[in-house]
């Protein structure tokens, strides 16, 4: 390796166009397009579109960089230790993908290049590396910050517009934004605010630019107040505090200060960078600090009220530190070195989540990440991944502090770049440790990491390292060969990105078509998705389409018996094959086994050989992968009911209720089964338990009412049924049985009142109720068998049955 500082100075500002320049602009344009990419369509994947733009832009930049090296015959890089440490994390992901047991495709790509996959972490590391080697001069740094400033202005301006439109029309949600989730928007705005504060502090700006930054600062504070994130406020306030203290320390007292008349001044060693008194940028940190502290204190009151006032309601729900550590402990017990595999936190969550969560509103939520992005990576990539992250973060902190404290660049803009990129990068890294930023926020952080590494060439003496391989044939052959292979690999990488993106587009179209009941179009689209990229989610959807097709064929009376049988058999075979393929792609995803069980359960009533046992085996496998999920034993109970095994169904329902005490669906089904088994008191007890947990559920109260009536508690039945009608006045069945109960009490007036109300709901109900009203008009009891009426079929229809509720 040779010291190329002299060469760099000679060729400091190239005038002509070059592949190096094109690589720089490829990085900037791809990042800008990724941010502003916004297509309001349900068939266009919002986040994956941004990630795909980043990936393609990075590949184009890499190709341009390689062509530049081949044409120039040299490679020049900044100091490499930190750059090497950065790649420890992707190496850990590679090893985890190979040896954790996860399928290669799942570990590399996931379904859509999710943030915890090998492909995405390589995108981040590549962006940082390309930024470090492509950005070499102050004019390129200036270009970066100009583009970043424009993008920041666009994000803020567009968001203000969305919020204003959200107050005018319900068609636009105030939470819609260019970045990702509304939490991601707050993080990105916080990053822009941090860079704005640093710019106001350390750069001499024109009045127009300074006013613009002040305007963006004010709007950013407003958006942060609406995002109402304590972590973002804390980090922004910490930066503002540091800048405020730094600005105060640079203030110089006047030599004629009256306080110092006759006082001996104690002087210490002065910083060489401290020139004349500098109060530039003092106000912005102070304002930010005051506002930040105000909303930190009042985030749960004033901040929440402000967000609600403009219609911004979003949840940032993640597992706690305790839950994340618990999941990690179980994972390390099974696979300590390599973890569970990239992108598999959700599977570990399903297996090891705390049963007590079933008592919360998130009882049926599958979390894809833990408390933070980096802690999640600790779980999925094991000890190797944790060590890689800690080594990189530790070295980044050490090199950064050492460079800024002892080797501050002499060139002013390089010094500004070094300070700003280091602080901005740590802002994102801390977000990644304590929360789960979206892909765009993470990409911005790694862009800044690369920019800081680039600025290290200016630390102390300007020092770059490189080799002119065109002068060394042996070394040159090896390097040219490697560069050529890498160039060809960019083509393969671009093909993989485009293929995955087209597959995701087709899958989105399939979901959209299925949502409107267009089964044929959904089937065509999902087949296209599988051709582009085989994912378990695509095969799950294909199995669901097959189930709908079977139901449609079974209900089509126009088909000949032979045609219907052939089409039904084909749909069943394809559905089973699709669900089975999903279980092979992601065998630890319990939802794939549920999909397979659902296919077999569909044909259990047809008494197809093996259907019941295969469905039970698939559901049981899902239960072992998600043992604390009460919906799985509930589903098994439904299977047993379809097979006519009520006693086994009762056992599964009791297991489901044992996992979740307020599982009203299971409680109601259990009460119905117990009625059928001649256990009316037990059934009533179960229904009343459901009513305790769901006091405003009209269906539960209806069930309690008819069971009380069946056990002779007429007054209790009237109380429950009247409450059900009060909650849902158009509940026809509840009114009918309420009329029955009133007839037992001999209250003809109230019987007429309920029957008249039912008749008004629909012509069908009026026709059904007419004989009962006629009996009343003739002075007869319309319900002569009222004591047993709760066991009879009601003649009226609710909305769910085709009538009106």
Long-range contacts made by residues 117-121, C-beta under 8 angstroms, separation at least 24? Answer: 117/93, 117/342, 117/343, 118/90, 118/93, 118/94, 118/342, 119/55, 120/51, 120/439, 121/89, 121/90, 121/93, 121/342
Q: Name the residue with higher pLDDT: 32 or 13.
A: 32
In this structure, is residue 578 part of a structural domain?
yes
The predicted model scores a pTM of 0.84
- Residue 11, pLDDT above cutoff 50: no
In this structure, is residue 330 part of a structural domain?
no
Take residue 551 and report the two structure tokens written for it.
Answer: 């139901």
Q: Name the residue with higher pLDDT: 536 or 732.
A: 536
User: Where in the sequence is the domain holding 222, given as residue range(s)?
Assistant: 185-250+280-298
Instruction: Provide the b/e sequence for 737-761 (b: ≥16 CB within 10 Å).
Output: bbbbbbbbeeeeebbbebbebbbeb
- Residue 487, pLDDT above cutoff 60: yes
310-368 confidence digits (pLDDT tens): 888 877 888 999 999 999 999 999 999 999 999 999 999 999 998 888 888 888 888 99
User: Which residue in 93, 89, 101 sits closest to 117, CA to CA?
Assistant: 93
Quick one: pLDDT at residue 798?
63
Confidence of residue 261 (pLDDT cuts 50, 70, 90): low
Contact 97, 341 (CB under 8 A): yes
671-696 confidence digits (pLDDT tens): 778 777 777 677 777 777 777 777 88
Confidence of residue 803 (pLDDT cuts 50, 70, 90): very low
Quick one: pLDDT at residue 280?
62
Quick one: pLDDT at residue 474?
79
213-251 confidence digits (pLDDT tens): 999 999 999 999 999 899 999 999 999 999 988 888 776
In this structure, is residue 191 part of a structural domain?
yes
| Least reliable range by pLDDT among 288-302, 371-385, 475-489, 553-567 | 553-567
Confidence of residue 697 (pLDDT cuts 50, 70, 90): confident
In this structure, is residue 607 part of a structural domain?
yes
In this structure, is residue 94 part of a structural domain?
no
- Which residues face 75 on adjacent strands? 467
Final residue of a domain: which of 623, 648, 669? Answer: 623
Query: CA–CA separation, 34 vs 43, rounded Å?
Result: 18
Take residue 626 and report the two structure tokens written for it.
Answer: 């998600």
| Least reliable range by pLDDT among 155-169, 461-475, 555-569 | 461-475
- Residue 275, pLDDT above cutoff 50: no
In this structure, is residue 334 part of a structural domain?
no
Contact 339, 382 (CB under 8 A): yes
Quick one: pLDDT at residue 5?
42
In this structure, is residue 267 part of a structural domain?
no
Number of domains the chain is built from: 2
Count of CB atoms within 10 A of residue 513's CB?
20
In this structure, is residue 476 part of a structural domain?
no
DSSP conformation letters of 226-256: HHT-HHHHHHHHHHHHHHHHHHHHT----TT
Final residue of a domain: which of 574, 593, 623? Answer: 623
Final residue of a domain: which of 623, 658, 679? Answer: 623
């Amino acid at each position: 390796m040779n010291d190329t500082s002299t060469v760099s100075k000679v060729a400091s500002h190239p005038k002509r166009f070059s592949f190096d320049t094109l690589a720089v602009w490829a990085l900037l344009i791809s990042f800008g397009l990724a941010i502003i990419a916004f297509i309001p369509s349900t068939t266009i994947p919002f986040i994956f579109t941004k990630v795909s733009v980043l990936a393609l832009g990075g590949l184009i930049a890499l190709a341009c960089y390689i062509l530049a090296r081949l044409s120039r015959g040299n490679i020049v890089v900044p100091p490499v230790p930190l750059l090497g440490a950065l790649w420890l994390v992707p190496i850990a992901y590679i090893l985890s993908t190979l040896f954790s047991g996860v399928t290669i495709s799942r570990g590399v790509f996931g379904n859509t290049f999710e943030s915890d996959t090998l492909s995405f972490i390589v995108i981040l590391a590549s962006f940082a590396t390309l930024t470090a080697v492509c950005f070499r001069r102050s004019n390129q740094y200036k270009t970066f910050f100009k583009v970043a400033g424009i993008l920041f202005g666009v994000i803020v301006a567009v968001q203000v517009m969305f919020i204003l439109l959200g107050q005018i029309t319900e068609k636009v949600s105030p939470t819609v934004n260019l970045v990702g989730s509304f939490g991601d928007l707050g993080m990105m705005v916080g990053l822009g605010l941090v860079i704005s504060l640093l710019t106001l502090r350390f750069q001499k700006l024109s009045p127009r630019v300074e006013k613009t930054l002040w305007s963006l600062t004010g709007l950013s504070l407003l958006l942060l107040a609406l995002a109402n994130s304590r972590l973002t406020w804390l980090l922004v306030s910490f930066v503002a505090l540091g800048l405020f203290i730094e600005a105060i320390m640079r203030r110089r007292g006047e030599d004629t200060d009256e306080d110092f008349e006759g006082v001996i001044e104690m002087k210490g060693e002065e910083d060489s960078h401290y020139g004349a008194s500098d109060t530039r940028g003092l106000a912005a940190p102070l304002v930010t600090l005051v506002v930040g502290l105000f909303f930190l204190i009042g985030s749960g009151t004033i901040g929440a009220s402000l967000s609600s006032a403009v219609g911004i309601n979003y949840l940032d729900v993640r597992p706690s530190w305790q839950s994340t550590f618990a999941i990690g402990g179980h994972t390390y017990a099974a696979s300590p070195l390599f973890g569970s595999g990239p992108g598999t936190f959700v599977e570990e969550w399903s297996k090891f989540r705390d049963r007590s969560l079933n008592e919360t509103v998130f009882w049926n939520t599958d979390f894809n990440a833990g408390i933070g992005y980096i802690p999640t990576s600790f779980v999925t990539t094991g000890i190797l991944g944790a060590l890689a992250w800690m080594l990189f973060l530790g070295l980044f902190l050490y090199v950064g502090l050492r460079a800024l404290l002892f080797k501050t660049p002499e060139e002013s803009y390089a010094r500004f770049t070094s300070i700003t990129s280091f602080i901005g990068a740590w802002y994102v890294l801390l977000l990644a440790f304590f929360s789960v930023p979206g892909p765009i926020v993470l990409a911005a952080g790694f862009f800044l990491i690369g920019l800081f590494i680039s600025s290290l060439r200016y630390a102390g003496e300007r020092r770059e390292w490189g080799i002119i391989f065109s002068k060394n044939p042996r070394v040159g052959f090896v390097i040219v060969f490697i560069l050529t292979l890498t160039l060809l690999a960019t083509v393969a990488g671009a093909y993989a990105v485009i293929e995955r993106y087209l597959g995701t587009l087709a899958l989105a179209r399939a979901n959209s078509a299925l949502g409107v009941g267009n089964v044929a179009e959904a089937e065509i689209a999902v087949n296209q998705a599988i051709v582009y990229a085989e994912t378990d989610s695509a095969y799950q959807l294909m199995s669901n389409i097959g189930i709908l097709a079977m139901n449609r064929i079974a209900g089509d009376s126009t088909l000949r018996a032979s045609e219907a049988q052939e089409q039904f058999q084909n749909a069943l075979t394809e559905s089973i094959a699709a669900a089975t393929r999903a279980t092979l792609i992601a065998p630890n995803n319990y939802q794939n086994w549920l999909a397979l069980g659902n296919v077999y359960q569909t044909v259990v009533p047809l008494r197809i050989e093996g259907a019941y046992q295969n469905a039970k085996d698939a559901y049981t496998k899902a239960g072992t992968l998600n043992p604390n999920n009460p919906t799985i034993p509930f589903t098994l109970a439904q299977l047993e009911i379809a097979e006519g095994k009520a006693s086994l169904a009762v056992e599964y329902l009791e297991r489901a209720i044992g996992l979740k005490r307020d599982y009203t669906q299971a409680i109601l089904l259990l009460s119905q089964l117990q009625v059928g088994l001649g256990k009316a008191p037990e059934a009533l007890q179960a229904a009343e338990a459901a009513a305790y947990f769901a006091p405003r559920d009209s269906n539960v109260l209806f069930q309690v009412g008819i069971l009380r009536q069946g056990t002779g508690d007429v007054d209790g039945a009237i109380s429950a049924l009247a409450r059900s009608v009060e909650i849902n006045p158009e509940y026809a069945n509840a009114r009918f049985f309420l009329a029955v109960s009133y007839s037992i009490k001999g209250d003809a007036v109230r019987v007429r009142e309920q029957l008249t109300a039912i008749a008004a709901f629909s012509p069908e109900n009026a026709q059904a109720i007419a004989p009962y009203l006629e009996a009343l008009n003739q002075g007869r009891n319309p319900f002569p068998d009222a004591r047993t009426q709760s066991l009879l079929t009601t003649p009226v229809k609710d909305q769910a049955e085709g009538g009106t509720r």
